[in-house]
Structure 1
């Protein structure tokens, strides 16, 4: 059985005066009803327990704003409980919406569109053309280094060439590729 509205109002007045014993008694008399209101809104027992504690913290801070001539103690207390629970629901929904929007944005950023694929295809074609402009020795050394993932020493061993020779071929090949891939001239200059 719940406490009479008059005793809840008196306890709220005691809490407004800063009496911790008044808050303890208010808590004991109203916890089950406050928790029930919060649980009906949230439907999650753990979240309802946490939110109920927040309700009593808010009551402690705002008890001075209670006006017994405008509402009953129960009405004021349960209105705070309901409002706090609704705020939690809204906050959780907003958080889920932000997470969903972020996931969609991330997905759009990761998944290439048709224009990205067109650009990538053109770049691949250009690299192939530039690779064909290299000497056979440079091209083979670069393919072994970048596509096969071999070290300079491994390439030298595979080719039966001196390490310094392999490094020179790679360096010269990279320079030639860079020159080939750089834009030719500036538009409108």
Structure 2
């Protein structure tokens, strides 16, 4: 995936993320932001494809998320860019799925025709999956941050305990505990339709 190549060569040498984010907040140089974003484009594409299941739509989402970052990173101070970016990508895709569902439901047709159109676009499994994704997203947000970050890195990014510990600074034993306890809480929350 190399469709953001117009940033290459604009920044002479790579800068640490914290410095790059601070520099972008100070001067708004999109080339600096592009250099920060480029190493994570594959990850963002993977997250988008996981939700959207369409290559072109996922590529578009990678660009849309970058455009969103241009504004958001001037307002938000981010300490862990990769984790924050993963959440932004996931939320962007969930919002796209919700909007597409609402758009289909808002068309001006009589009720029976509307049911037929929706039925043709989405089967029962898709509705069930959508409900589960919504519940999962709500429940993930209710976890304490250590549990949520550990679970997202372990299950969504396929990181091992050692990598999670290195990336987050959590002790390796704690990472395992965060994942197990978070998973248990998620199960209870989802079974209770989004509440503990």
TM-score interval, smaller chain:
0.3 to 0.5
Higher relative contact order (Cα pairs below 8 Å, separated by 6+ residues): 1
TM-score (norm 2): 0.45
Which structure has the greater CA radius of gyration? 1
